[in-house]
Structures are given as structure tokens and as C-alpha cells.
Structure 1
């Protein structure tokens, strides 16, 4: 067997290749909670809360037992365990129920392993790292534990898995930039910044990619868009990392660009088909210098506007007590 929770909760019979999807939301919630807590005994009262929340049936213990029995019937027969005894995946214990994985895998565990391997190779082999991270992300079929209700176990696990997915995406595009693939990922990063406007790391990666593609004005626009969004939703400006990236790009301080170029042109990287940057004509260099000068003036103007707004805010705060009296 294999259990899938990176999307709707599913059971795979690896001998036949067939996927089994529990029919009802209660069955999916039960299986999802047991997979999340695999190897642990989940108390009956926690499972009752997971399935029915604040409105359990009067015979909750019997109802839970019936759901467990139906779930057992869905599980394919497991291979014999040690001593030729058949391994039972879903077991009953005095205080609750437990899912014993044994040699059974889950897509969430495979995702975690592949993502960790990819992150470990970011510096030494960014091309291989990107491949592993894409392989990990390809395991996702939708939102984690989709259709499994909103119980505490599944909700918390879904949030953690989603955060792991976003971290893997950040590592993937970091690896792509290190491998000299800025041109190939700008559109993907732009979509991610729109889908996750409060996640500054995506904007930072997009700005770097745009700058390395010779599009500094668009990098500034991405920065300004992020600043407006953060101000609107959270009442704060860009964080230190994003501000530092903007300053570094304005002053042409992007050592990663040299490393990326070295990786892209190094023998054995299999990236010879990637378009390489070519020297710009003198007229293009002049225009680029003028554009950078304009960008610097714009950043200074934004800093002055921010200082002015903070001063107005301080004055309003000082006047507030007298206005309320």
C-alpha cells in the first residue's frame, strides 16, 4: 500500500496500481488523521472531535467504531510481516486506534525526503538540486488533505505541509538562479508573487531573476508592488531582506550572478542550450546607466515619502488623546 495526502486522501494498492478514495468526508477525515499520526495511538476522543467537532452524535464511540470498520475494509490486504504473520495496518488499542506503516510509504514522506535532498545540494550542485525539488513538488495533486474536513489534526497538518511546499518552491527557484536559469523562471516567479503577495522571498527571487535578465525597471516595479501590498494588508513596509536585495541590485552587488554564469557555462552541467547573456552595445549600456540612475532617484523619493508619512503618523498619534477627551 501507499497513502496519499498531498491532495485528496487516497490509498494506493501498489500491486494493481489502483487508487482508492474514501467515499465520505468522515472516512477521509479519519484516514487523514491516522496517516498524519502514523505510528502513534490516536485517542478516541480526538478522533471524535476530528470527525464531528462540537456536535458529536450521542453514540459517538459506536459511530467511530463503525467508521474504523469501514475503513479497514477499504485497505488492501497487507503483505505478511515477520514470522509469516499478516501485517495489519489499522490496529485497535485500549485508548484508541493507530496506523502502522511498517514498509508502507506516504507521498508526504517522499516529498519531505526529496525536498531535503534538494536543499542539501543547493550550493554544490544546483542543477541536481532543482531536479530533486521539482520531483518533490510533482507529488502534489492539490491542497494537502483536501476534502478531509476542518478537524484540528488535519488542519494543522495541512498548514505545515503547505508551508513545506512553499519552502520547497523557494529552494527550487533559488537553485534555478544558481544554475543560471533566470530567463526560464521569471514568468513562474511572477505568478507566485501574485498568488502569494505577502511572501517576500518570492518577490526577492523575482527581482533577482529580472535583474539578471537585464530588466531592472521591472525589478523595481515588483518591489514597489510588494511594498504597496504589505502596507495595505499588514500596515508594514518590505522587510530587511527585501530592502537589502533592492539596494544590492541598484548598486550592481549581485555576486550570485557570477556564480550562476560559471555554473551555466561549466562543462558537464548540460545547460549549453540555455541562452547566454551577450555583451550589450554601447547605446544599450548608456540607456541602462540612465535607467539605473532613475531607479536610484525613485528609491530616494520613496524613502522621503515614507519618512514624511511616518512623521504625519507620529503627529496624529500625539494628537489622538486630546481628540478623545
Structure 2
């Protein structure tokens, strides 16, 4: 049994061969919020805010109770209700403090993802090949954007943003591990896609520059820097950070540390280290860049929410049109 939030919110019961996918955005948002806060009490007021925001219905408490009851029925299966010897307590418990999702030995795909990435981070210095394998397994758990179709309020929005940041960090670690094991030719295409999808994330440009350089494609490596600088200047009005600038200089001067056989990996070398970033000449733009990246991430979240809103309106129009046709027919 596994609760899944790395994509559409669903529950997968392998033993019973069941896949439980809540119908309706409110049901998905309710389950998503309870999974995010699993094991903790979530007050009714907070869940009302999560589902309806600033526009709750007049009977919001009753409406919430109705959603919880429907979700309980959806999650229940043989032996999960009643008083027999095989009965179990309901997944969703009601207390004086609100509602709690009790997972027990059951886990979430997000917890598995975090466990695998944590293990990969631990073994990366000594065994980058094994780390890359662990990270690919972790990333394979993703079926789409975290909590897809469930982000209505702050609980799911904050978790989705944190999980997405974890996914991007895992990608950076995985491709860095691939470079450590000499697999630069295998990953250039994937890195090109990543800088297209995440044009403000400097680390992906860094990895692609190293990969191109190790493939003997110095001009293309420098072209990646120019592309990064152009995008950052156009979108944020800032220059690339000291790490990316230092890597460009290393490529221009054919620094031996960039060779595939060099140790340590270029990301560990002075131009990419935090100490270098603190002592290198910095500008106001360098200090502002992390904040700009956060603003960009929020902008992408807003775009995703707008897309979901458009899809919901389209679905509503289709349903109301169908209902009108049945009435007139």
C-alpha cells in the first residue's frame, strides 16, 4: 500500500490490485493535504482554507465533513471497517483537534524518493556510479508535477514547491555523478532539454558546459555560457554567478582539472566552491540572484496553477453543456 503524491494524488494497493484515484479537485486536494501532513492533526479551519481559500461555502464545516466521509469510503476496503478480528481503524481519524491521516507501516512515494536521494548523497563521494543508479531510481518515482491537480491552498503548494526543488537537486546530483564516471557523451542531450525546461537554473548550464568540453566540443561549451548569460540578463537583468564565470575561464584556458580523468570533479574545484564565491569580486546582482531564482520558481508555479484553472473551466463548460443537452433532449 502506498500513497502517491509525485504526480496525480492516488493510492496504490498492490496486494488488492486497487488503484484509488479521487474524483474531483477538492477530493484530490483533501487527500493531498492529509498525506503531506500524515501523522499530524490538521484543523478543520485549515482544511477549509486549503479547499476553498477566501471563498468558503456558507456551510463549510458540513461540506468538509462530507468530503472527509466520501474520502473515507473511497479508501476503505475489505476488512477495513466493522468490528471483526480483521477490521482496522479508518485511515482518516477525527479528533477534537481536526483530522489525521494514519499511515502506520504504509509509506508515501515522496518518502521513498527522499530516502533514495539521501542514500545517494551519502555514497556519492566514494561510489558515484552507485549514486547515479540510486538517483535514477528515485527520479523514476515521479509521474508528473508533485501533487498534480491538487494544489488549491498553502499546504499542497508549499509541499509541491519543496518536492520540485528536491527533484531538480536530484537531477543535478545524478548528472554530476555521471560526469564523475566518464559518461559525459551519454548525458548531453538530456542536459540540453533541462536548460530549455529550466533556463534560470545555472547548475544545469554548468554540467552541460563540462560535458561538451569533455566531448571535445569547446565552442559549444562556450556557447552554453553565452546562452545562460543572455537568458539571465534578459529575464532577471543579472550576470551569471561566479561559479559559471569561473568555469568559462577554465574552459578558455584548457584547465587540466576539467579533463575526464581529473580528480576532484570540477564542481569541487575553487571556481565553484562557496569559499571562492565569498572571496571573489561580487556585485549587487550576484547577491540578488538567489532571490530572483526564487521569484522565477514562484512564477512557474503561478503559470501551472493558471493552466490547471483553464483546464477546470474547460471541463466545467463541457459538463454544463452536456447537462443542458440532456435537459432539452
Change (3 A) 1:23 1:233: same
**Highest CA radius of gyration, 1 or 2?**
1
User: 2:147 aligns to what SS in structure 1?
Assistant: coil
Q: Alpha-carbon deviation of 1:100?
A: 1.1
Q: Deviations over 1:68-89 (max 9, x none)?
A: 0000011144888xx9772432
Task: Give me the whole-angstrom Cα distance separating, in 1, the residues matched to 2:264 and 2:154.
Answer: 48
Q: Normalising by the residue count of structure 1, what TM-score does the alignment of the two structures yield?
A: 0.76
Root mean square deviation of aligned Cα: 2.0
Partner of 2:93: 91
Task: Give me the whole-angstrom Cα distance separating, in 1, the residues matched to 2:150 and 2:52.
Answer: 12
Q: Alpha-carbon deviation of 1:254?
A: 4.9
Unaligned runs of 5+ in 1: 264-325
Q: Alpha-carbon deviation of 1:261?
A: 9.3
Q: Deviations over 1:55-106 (max 9, x none)?
A: 10111001000100000011144888xx977243210011210111110111
The answer as to whether partners of 2:29 and 2:150 remain within 8 angstroms in 1 is yes
Q: Does 1:248 align with 2:250?
A: yes
Task: Give me the whole-angstrom Cα distance separating, in 1, the residues matched to 2:184 and 2:263.
Answer: 10
2:234 corresponds to which of 227, 232, 235? 232
Task: Give me the whole-angstrom Cα distance separating, in 2, the residues matched to 1:62 and 1:260.
Answer: 65
Partner of 1:307: none
The answer as to whether partners of 1:180 and 1:260 remain within 8 angstroms in 2 is no
Matches within 5 A, 1:141-220: 141-220=143-222
Partner of 2:67: 67
**Count of aligned pairs between the two proteins:** 261
Task: Give me the whole-angstrom Cα distance separating, in 2, the residues matched to 1:120 and 1:257.
Answer: 25
Q: Alpha-carbon deviation of 1:150?
A: 2.3
Matches within 5 A, 1:27-46: 27-46=27-46
User: 2:45 aligns to what SS in structure 1?
Assistant: helix
Structure 1 range deviating more: 233-242 or 243-252: 243-252
Q: Alpha-carbon deviation of 1:188?
A: 0.4
Change (3 A) 1:32 1:195: same
Change (3 A) 1:89 1:39: same
Partner of 2:112: 110
Structure 1 stretches of 4+ moved >6 Å: 260-263
Q: Alpha-carbon deviation of 1:244?
A: 1.2
Task: Give me the whole-angstrom Cα distance separating, in 2, the residues matched to 1:247 and 1:17.
Answer: 56
Task: Give me the whole-angstrom Cα distance separating, in 1, the residues matched to 2:60 and 2:208.
Answer: 51
Q: Normalising by the residue count of structure 2, what TM-score does the alignment of the two structures yield?
A: 0.76
The answer as to whether partners of 2:76 and 2:90 remain within 8 angstroms in 1 is no
Change (3 A) 1:146 1:228: same
Matches within 5 A, 1:248-267: 248-255=250-257, 257-259=259-261
Task: Give me the whole-angstrom Cα distance separating, in 1, the residues matched to 2:79 and 2:117.
Answer: 29
Task: Give me the whole-angstrom Cα distance separating, in 2, the residues matched to 1:78 and 1:109.
Answer: 26
Task: Give me the whole-angstrom Cα distance separating, in 2, the residues matched to 1:26 and 1:198.
Answer: 33
Unaligned runs of 5+ in 2: 266-329
Change (3 A) 1:28 1:92: same
User: 2:200 aligns to what SS in structure 1?
Assistant: coil
User: 1:147 aligns to what SS in structure 2?
Assistant: coil
Change (3 A) 1:123 1:112: same
Task: Give me the whole-angstrom Cα distance separating, in 1, the residues matched to 2:188 and 2:47.
Answer: 44
Q: Alpha-carbon deviation of 1:260?
A: 6.6
